[in-house]
Chains A and B, each alone.
Chain A
Amino acid sequence: MLTRFFLMGLDRKAGLVLTVLALLAVLVPVMTLVVPEGSPWHLSIFSVSLLGKYLCFALLALALDLVWGYVGILSLGHAAFFALGGYAMGMYLMRQIGPRGVYGNPILPDFMVFLNWKELPWYWLGFDHFAFAALMVLVVPGALAFAFGWFAFRSRVTGVYLSIITQALTFALLLAFFRNDMGFGGNNGLTDFKEILGYDIQAPGTRVGLFLATVAALALSYMIASGIIASKLGKVLVAIRDTESRVRFLGYDTESYKLFAWTLSACMAGVAGALYVPQVGIINPSEFAPASSIEAVIWVAVGGRGTLAGAILGAVLVNFGKSYFTGALPELWLFALGGLFVLVTLFLPKGLLGLWAQLTARLPSGKGKRVPNGKTADQKGM
């Protein structure tokens, strides 16, 4: 049953996306750990973490595309779910520091010690167990999304009203997490992690492991998402996107469909956040900033809304551009990024993927069969 579900989404497109991910999963560890340093084929740990970060963003974009591209819910607050997942993981990592903090307190994280907290607040209990924290990564964003969606969809809040209240949600969380009284480290957030599951978090092996976990999570989420889209459920979701009232009149309980997709998407975003935190080494309330959510929307739009592969492509491309330009053109990169968004909306309404589709549609079909190449590591720059 489950196999059938996954296989259903496994058309050729999905196959190729998964192949690329599998290739990454094989090549990256080999190039990092096996290929000796100094070889042009060697990939530094820095690059692995960077790629891992892009793939976390890709997972967030995928989650967002599931609700925006296929159900028509434009969330301007998806980074909230991402950050909540991140905080759940961050709390686990904080507890793993144990007595190695600067004050050497075995229970309390450093920020609680210097704010004179005497004991661990109740909501921090249990986070010293990985399994509990991993569960919370799914449950906290999922529960918030469920509660929020349950009210919002039942009240038939739609369109831009829904978008703005998702923004209000993430903004309220931003302010709440900024408060030091909340017990989440305030503006400094959670940082200075030491180990995860007993492995040194900065060791190359752990970093590669985290990267592989990210690839796996992305692949799994992709399979789930494409499985859903290919199923009857997916057809209903797309119908809701196109004309919700008509679907409702046909007897479908549209609220439940939306709620399902919305909650699932929030859980995916939570997982993305949880994988992001150990790789970048910090989680701070600025992840809740409305601008982060808007950026995620932009990745999806740049790649191509309504195509899962497009969401991944957009997230990786825009973030790679950001990494590159903030180093290469520190004073001008905002022009480049801003200009890119304007140009994409004006000339590529269906995103980059739409452009490729348009271009290749005009070419003789034989050309489309070219095997993807370009995985050589000696290409420098863009």
Chain B
Amino acid sequence: MRRAFRWLLAACVAIATTSAALAADLRPLVQTMGSGGYAGTEKALNQLSEAGDPAAVPVIEALQAGDLYVRKADGLVVIARKAGAGFALTDPLSGAVVGEAAAGAIDKIKINNALRRSISATLGALTLMSPDPATRRSAAEAVFKSRDANALDALNTAIAKEKDERIRRVMEQARAAVILTAGASEVDTQAAIATLTARGDRDALALLSMIAASGATDALKTAAAGAVAAVEQKLMFWGALQNLWYGLSLGSVLLLAAIGLAVTFGVMGVINMAHGEMVMIGAYTTFLVQQGLRTYAPGLTDLSILLALPAAFLVSGGVGVIIERSVIRWLYGRPLETLLATWGLSLALQQAVRSLFGPTNREVSAPSWMSGAFELGGLTITYGRLWIVVFAFAVFAALLVALKRTWFGLSIRAVTQNRPMANAMGIRTARVDALTFGLGSGIAGLAGVALSQIDNVSPNLGQSYIIDSFMVVVFGGVGNLWGTLVGALALGSLNKFLEPYAGAVLGKILVLIFIILFIQRRPRGLFALKGRAVEA
């Protein structure tokens, strides 16, 4: 009785809306979505897709977002969104308020990958005529992926109406994909192959390979095979460029990890085994900043990485200054003993972080502007990696300017080149030492912010970069920042160049052997300092 009343109510509301009659037709379909498990939901979804009514879009979107529920009491399918302790229920078709429910009183309609695929296909077909260009475009892409024959009519209508050149192209590609999958006349199929060849990406290649393997006629197979060859050749060229980009990107990660060490080890001569832990502290600072923003200023979470930069620099730098003042300063002139002390510090710092934050990974999420990727020609460039490359070079440039163009940099160089003389000239060498070590550690902290985006934020984070960092600094030449830059990029590119042929492990071994042999040829690294100071 109550159920019938609800229905009546919902129907009344629905009639008030524009597509009243159609909505009433959809209702039984929507109602069946909640029964029969994945298969039942899938069946209902297919029927919605065949009905081709855009009124179903909000329902399907709710299903995709995981907001579609079944009320246990009466089996009514509703959209439920969290409100206070329970859920606020609305009617999926009309959007009318149905009531409220506790968490236990409703059951989520679960979806799996197969359903997700159907959902995006259906949504694609239903939103091809959307007024929003971005939606139309993604709808066309969705149809291209789903190759759903049901969508062909909608596609044809949409293509005829579409004014935006680029969206129309995607729609035509989608139509080509549908035609190739569903089968059509020889002429249409050949045209479709041409369209896909022009698209020329991996998705097109996948489709073309399928036709080449299992086309209807031999002529079709030959045409598809030719298209596959053409696309593959193009992709190979882009593949080489892509590899270069990977090399650059790996190189910039190495550069970031090593550049702080280039200061503490390269400039100051401290064999700083705790360098990796400074990176780790930077990453944990990022985590804390993000946590803090999530709690106190959720709107700013996207900026957390930017805010973490100064924070990480200060925290790691501060720890660095403390280490220098308490331990390192007693050890100048005894570089090998700094190795020992900093190793001890690194053990203690790891354990401290483990005790404070627990041994498990911490989540640092990527801000929206660092997520995803874009296409540049045939290159796929992920925003995260792009920003890391930019950031690495920015840090390098900033450090270079700081060392070469500022009074502080001048003092650093003076102290490292001739300590007694610098002292005699009135430079407070002790303070310069502390600040230099702090600078190196702070830069390591900055690296930690960047690495939190691509690696584990765990107590072991630093350990995985320390050896690579030393290799880079030594390969480039101790005491030379340009050496570190060239060293990092060279080793990164070499690694990525070898990886496709030798595999990841062997590639890395070959790089290490290359370093050993290279040092035989140039015992002081790529950019060796000249002069007597070297022997000291």
Nearest A residue (CB) for B478: A160
Please indicate the chain A residues that have their CB under 8 angstroms from the CB of B506 in the complex: 179
Q: Is the CB of B516 within 8 A of A165?
A: yes
The answer, yes or no, to whether B525 is at the interface (CB within 8 Å) is yes
CB of A141 closer than 8 Å to a CB of B: no
What does the 1/0 interface line of A333-353 toward B look like (CB < 8 Å)?
011011111101110010000
Q: Given the interface contacts A175-B509, A290-B467, does A164 sit within 8 Å of B474 by beta carbon?
A: yes
- Cβ–Cβ contact A297 & B330, under 8 A: no
Tell whether, in the assembled complex, residue B520 and residue A175 are in contact, meaning their CB atoms are under 8 Å apart. no
Q: Mark B478-504, 1 if CB is under 8 A from A, else 0.
A: 100000000000000000000000000
Residues of A within 8 A of B215 (CB): none
A222-257: contact bitstring with B at CB < 8 Å (1 yes, 0 no)? 000000000000000000000001000000000000
A189 smallest CB distance to B (angstroms): 16
B422 at the interface (CB under 8 A from A): no
Other-chain contact of B523, A148, A156, A245, A335 (Cβ < 8 Å) = A156
> Residues of B contacting A172 with CB < 8 Å?
509, 512-513, 516
State whether A245 and B347 are in contact (beta carbons under 8 Å apart), knowing that A157-B519, A345-B341 are contacts in the complex.
no
Interface residues on A, range: 35 or more
B344 contacts A294, C-beta separation under 8 Å:
no
Residues of A within 8 A of B186 (CB): none
1/0 per residue A348-360: CB within 8 Å of B?
0100000000000
Q: Does A377 contact B (CB under 8 A)?
A: no
- CB-based contact A344/B340 at 8 Å: yes
Whether B337 pairs with A349 at a CB distance below 8 angstroms is yes
Chain B 312-349 near chain A by CB (<8 Å), digits 1 or 0: 00000000000000010011001111111101111111
List chain B residues, Cβ under 8 A from A291.
Answer: 463
- Say yes or no for A155: interface residue by CB 8 A criterion: yes
B3 vs chain A, min Cβ distance (A): 59
Is B287 in the interface zone, CB < 8 Å from A? no
Q: Are A346 and B343 in contact (CB under 8 A)?
A: no
Residues from chain A with a CB closer than 8 A to the CB of B463 are 291
Cβ A334 vs Cβ B348 within 8 A: yes
Q: How far is the CB of A187 from chain B (nearest CB, A)?
A: 12
Contact of B505 among A164, A179, A331, A346 (CB under 8 A): A179
| C-alpha gap A74/B535 in the complex (Å) | 16
* Complex CA distance for A176 and B327, rounded to whole angstroms: 37
Q: Which residues of A contact B348 (CB under 8 A)?
A: 334-335, 338-339, 342
| In the bound complex, CA of A291 to CA of B352 (Å) | 19
By a CB distance below 8 angstroms, the chain A residues around B339 are 294, 297
CB pair A161–B273 under 8 Å, yes or no, is no
Q: In the complex, which residues of chain A have a beta carbon less than 8 angstroms from the beta carbon of B345?
A: 338, 342
Q: Does B355 contact A (CB under 8 A)?
A: yes
- A362 vs B103: C-alpha distance when bound (angstroms): 79
Across the interface, which residues of A come within 8 angstroms of B43, CB to CB? none
Nearest Cβ on chain B to A348's Cβ, whole angstroms: 10
- Contact status of A338 and B471, CB under 8 A, knowing A158-B523, A169-B516: no
Bound together, the chains give a CA A334 to CA B350 distance in angstroms of 9
> Does B508 interact with chain A (Cβ within 8 Å)?
yes
- The verdict on A178 contacting chain B, using a C-beta distance below 8 Å, is yes
Name the B residues within 8 Å of A17 (CB-CB). Answer: none
Verify B524–A161 contact, CB threshold 8 A. Answer: yes
Tell yes or no: A151 within 8 A of B by CB.
yes
B516 touches A168 (CB 8 A): yes
Q: Which of A144-184 contact B (CB under 8 A)?
A: 148, 151-152, 155-158, 160-161, 163-165, 167-169, 171-172, 175-176, 178-179
Q: Is A332 an interface residue (CB 8 A)?
A: yes
A-contact 0/1 string along B128-161, CB 8 Å cutoff: 0000000000000000000000000000000000
| Contact bitstring A297-327, B, C-beta under 8 A = 1, else 0 | 1100100000000000000000000000000
Verify if B470 is at the interface (C-beta below 8 Å from A).
yes
Distance in angstroms between the alpha carbons of A339 and B347 in the assembled complex: 9
**Residues of chain A lying within 8 A (CB to CB) of residue B509:** 172, 175-176
**0/1 string, B231-263, CB within 8 A of A gives 1:** 000000000000000000000000000000000
Closest to B338 in A: A345
Known: A169-B516, A179-B505. A337 touches B521 (CB 8 A): no
A151-B520, A178-B505 known; A167 and B470 CB under 8 Å?
yes
In the bound assembly, the distance between CA atoms of A331 and B351 in angstroms comes to 8
Residue on A with the closest CB to B477?
A161
Complex: A294 Cα to B506 Cα, angstroms: 24
B523 lies within 8 A of A345 (CB): no
Q: Which residues of B contact A346 (CB under 8 A)?
A: 327, 330-331, 341
What are the residues of chain A within 8 A of B508 when measuring CB–CB?
Answer: 175
Q: Chain A 192-207 against B: per-residue CB contact (8 Å), 1 yes, 0 no? A: 0000000000000000
Nearest CB of A to B535, in Å: 7
Contact in complex: A298, B512 (CB < 8 Å): no
* The residue from A155, A164, A334, A341 contacting B341, defined by CB atoms under 8 A apart: A341
Query: Do A294 and B523 have beta carbons less than 8 Å apart?
Result: no
Query: Once the chains are docked, how many angstroms separate the CA of A342 from the CA of B327?
Result: 8
Q: Bound complex: CA of A338 vs CA of B519, how far in Å?
A: 32
Q: Which residue of B lies closest to A68 (CB)?
A: B336
Residues of chain A contacted by B355 (CB below 8 angstroms): 331
Q: Which of B425-482 contact A (CB under 8 A)?
A: 463, 467, 470-471, 474, 478
B224, chain A: closest CB distance, angstroms: 38
Shortest CB distance A178–B (Å): 7
Q: Check if B271 is an interface residue, CB within 8 A of chain A.
A: yes
The answer to whether A332 touches B523 (Cβ under 8 A) is: no
Chain B 265-278: CB-based contact to A (< 8 A → 1; otherwise 0): 00000010100000
The answer for the CA separation of A165 and B330 in the assembled complex, in Å, is: 27
Nearest CB of chain A from residue B353's CB, rounded to whole Å: 11
> Does the CB pair B341–A157 fall under 8 Å?
no
Residues in B with CB closer than 8 Å to A169 are 512, 516
B29: interface (CB < 8 Å): no
CB distance from B34 to the nearest CB of A (A): 49
Most interface-central of A160, A164, A171, A178 (chain B CB within 10 A): A164
Q: Which residues of B contact A152 (CB under 8 A)?
A: 519-520
Q: Is B379 an interface residue (CB 8 A)?
A: no
CB <8 Å contact, B470 and A164: yes
Contacts of B535 in A (CB 8 A): 245
Give bound CA distance, A8 to B144, whole Å: 86
What are 27 contact pairs spanning A and B, CB under 8 A? Answer: A158-B523, A160-B478, A161-B474, A161-B478, A161-B523, A167-B467, A169-B512, A169-B516, A171-B467, A172-B509, A172-B513, A178-B505, A297-B339, A297-B340, A301-B337, A334-B351, A335-B351, A338-B344, A338-B345, A338-B348, A342-B341, A345-B327, A345-B331, A345-B341, A345-B344, A349-B334, A349-B337
Task: Give 6 closest A-B pairs by Cβ, nearest first.
Answer: A341-B344, A338-B348, A338-B347, A334-B351, A172-B512, A338-B344
Beyond A245-B535, A298-B343, A334-B350, 15 additional contacts (C-beta under 8 Å) are: A152-B520, A155-B523, A156-B523, A157-B520, A157-B523, A160-B271, A161-B523, A167-B467, A168-B516, A335-B352, A338-B345, A341-B344, A341-B347, A345-B337, A346-B331
